[in-house]
Amino acid sequence: MPPPRRSPPASLLDKRIGAYLAALTGAPSTDTGPGPAGLAIDGKTLRGSRTTDGAAVHLLSATLHHGQLVLAQRQIDAHSNEIGAFTPLLDHLDLARKVITADAMHTQHEHARHILARGGHYIFIVKANQPSLCRCLRGRFERVCPEMRSVIV
């Protein structure tokens, strides 16, 4: 049986991603000063809430990473999902020099194009529901950062 694979420290991944984002935006790295603002897009169902048809209220919000300030939010129709509300949520926000983070549901071509067209950057989660993209990224990441191979799922 082969020896167990040891994962490198999370700080290594954090440092590499921070340096990459700083270089991408031309901002100083997080070690020497502030970088671009992070904006998290996330949906939440409001516990105990109900609409007129009895469904729980579900909101999609844009929240600053630093300070957890909600900059925008939209109620999601009970017969819909967050994907259709993503672009309208961001339409009235200045995305220049913002790094948008979102879960795997929002790893969509249209979402990425919308953010880039508005001067922003993005970090999206890629899972097996995007198999071609997942394979492509896994191969590229393993070539660029072989010491992180053990944490790539």
- Nearby residues of 132 by Cβ (< 8 Å), 6 or more positions away: none
pLDDT of residue 44: 92
* 35-125 classified as CATH 3.30.420.10: yes
| pLDDT tens-digit map of 126-141 | 887 788 888 888 888 7
pLDDT of residue 32: 36
Hey, which of 14-18, 37-41, 125-129 has the most confident mean pLDDT? Answer: 37-41
Interatomic CA distance for residues 8 and 83, integer angstroms: 34
| pLDDT tens-digit map of 47-76 | 888 888 888 889 999 988 887 788 889 888
Q: Quick one: average pLDDT of 134-152?
A: 74
Q: How confident is the model at residue 1 (pLDDT cuts 50, 70, 90)?
A: low
Q: How confident is the model at residue 30 (pLDDT cuts 50, 70, 90)?
A: very low
The DSSP symbol for 105 reads G
pLDDT of residue 19: 60
Handedness of CA 38, 43, 46, 50 (dihedral sign): positive
| pLDDT tens-digit map of 81-116 | 899 999 999 998 899 989 999 999 899 999 999 999
pLDDT of residue 102: 95
Res 117 pLDDT > 90: yes
What predicted TM-score, i.e. pTM, was given to this entire model?
Answer: 0.69
- Decide if 71 contacts 39 (C-beta within 8 A): yes
Tokens representing residue 55 in the block: 């469904």
Query: Pairing relation of β-strands 37-45 and 58-64?
Result: antiparallel
pLDDT of residue 27: 43
